Amino acid sequence: MSLTPTLLAESIDSTNLRLDAREADIVQLCEEAMRERFACVMIYPASIPLAVQVLGGSGIKIGTVVGFPSGRFSTEGKQAEIEQAARAGAHEVDIVMNYGALRDGHDALVLRELCHLTRTAHGFGCLIKVITENCYLSEAQVLRSLELCEEAGVDFIKTSTGFGSSGAKVEHIRLWAKNRRGPIRLKAAGGIKTLSDARTLIEAGASRLGTSNAVALLAELRGQTPAANTGAY
């Protein structure tokens, strides 16, 4: 299938998780999302009310991060973050798995948390994406994270926070696409800077891309001069 600007835009979570982001940057992100019709804007929880104000009535989804970026927060703390974000107007939550617990072999603990948080998010009508931070996992752990996410009933499994030692790897998307058993979808994030990066990940099986370079990717696809990259995410 040919990758058109519309199809690419519909696959993108346009992201600003920069530590130095200001209100004007979030407004710009939202305005770009309305113009290009991105799937979602991905922002910090404190920016949700501003995004609601700017995006009101546009149909663009608002996403935020939970347990970010380490995942090493209590289940109760993550639950509270989900509840607060949903009440503020978020439609999607990208939750960092406790991948440290997964690395230490505490699979049952990880699964209990994922099941609890999935019930919480779905109870508020929010789509849930679980970030596994694959740069710190072995191949066996990458596969195990998929099994746990599928068992918990999450909507998406996601490669990276963008704050780890590396971002999305096409081999991890291929591995998940080959081994998933059900309808779970795949999100690649971190270091997606060029159209070639985006195309390769989509062809491998990703149906969402998290990137701070969304406008530049579309410009490249249209044969225009891309704007400068805005960040590593």
pLDDT > 60? residue 44: yes
Largest CA distance in the chain: 49
Token pair 């546009």 in the structure block, residue: 58
- Tell me the average pLDDT across 207-233: 85
Domain ranges for the chain, please list them: 5-221
Q: Supply the mean pLDDT for the chain.
A: 96
- The pTM (predicted TM-score) of the whole model is 0.95
Residues acting as catalytic residues = 94, 158, 187
Radius of gyration of the chain (CA): 16
65 DSSP β-pair partners: 94
CATH topology of domain 5-221: TIM Barrel (3.20.20)
